[in-house]
């Protein structure tokens, strides 16, 4: 895919062999180059309604596949807080390594690769509001500086229920 933009957020939890959290929060300003940017609620709704095949990668590397929507090992939904995700980690060295890093709180966060749909952005001076995005991929980031700041938590001892509002998925 060409012209893919990437943004990073820090919101990951470990639940059993799953990572879950926010790939990107809504309404949170991020400094990108010389402008400020916000992803607005509903920015992914048209894309998710089409049922795209979105991959979850490690560090935006296509050779480090963790899951995908096509195989249902990655689930995505818009929540009131942002783009929610849950990925079933593979029984691989990479999956085990990422789970250990998440449990320790060592991961930098999540990132997304996206394209802006026609008419999907509004500029007000040096502020860009993103209203309609085509999601290319989400990535677990092991290092780097996140664009969108939230918290990274590991919760592997007790299952936590996370209601994903748009699709009303219950994740245990």
Domain ranges of the chain: 5-149
Tens of pLDDT, residues 115-144:
999 999 999 999 999 999 999 999 998 877
Give the DSSP letter of residue 3: S
Quote the mean pLDDT of the chain: 81
Task: Provide the pLDDT for residue 32.
Answer: 86
According to the model, what pLDDT value does residue 167 have?
Answer: 30
pTM of the model: 0.78
Q: Is the pLDDT of residue 71 over 60?
A: yes
Contact 77, 166 (CB under 8 A): yes
């Amino acid at each position: 895919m060409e012209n893919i933009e990437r943004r990073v957020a820090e919101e990951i939890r470990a639940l059993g062999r799953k990572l879950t959290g926010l790939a990107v929060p809504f309404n949170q300003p991020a400094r990108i180059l010389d402008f400020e940017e916000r992803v607005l609620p509903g920015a992914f709704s048209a894309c998710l309604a089409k049922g795209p095949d979105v991959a979850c990668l490690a560090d935006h590397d296509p050779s480090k596949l963790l899951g995908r929507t096509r195989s249902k090992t990655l689930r995505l939904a818009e929540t009131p807080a942002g783009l929610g995700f849950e990925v079933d980690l593979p029984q691989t060295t990479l999956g085990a390594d990422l789970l250990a890093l998440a449990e320790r709180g060592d991961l930098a966060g999540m990132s997304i690769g996206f394209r802006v749909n026609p008419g999907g952005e509004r500029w007000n001076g040096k502020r860009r509001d993103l209203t309609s995005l085509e999601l290319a991929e989400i990535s677990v980031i092991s290092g780097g500086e996140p664009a969108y700041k939230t918290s990274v938590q590991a919760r592997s001892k007790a299952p936590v229920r996370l209601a994903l509002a748009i699709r009303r998925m219950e994740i245990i």
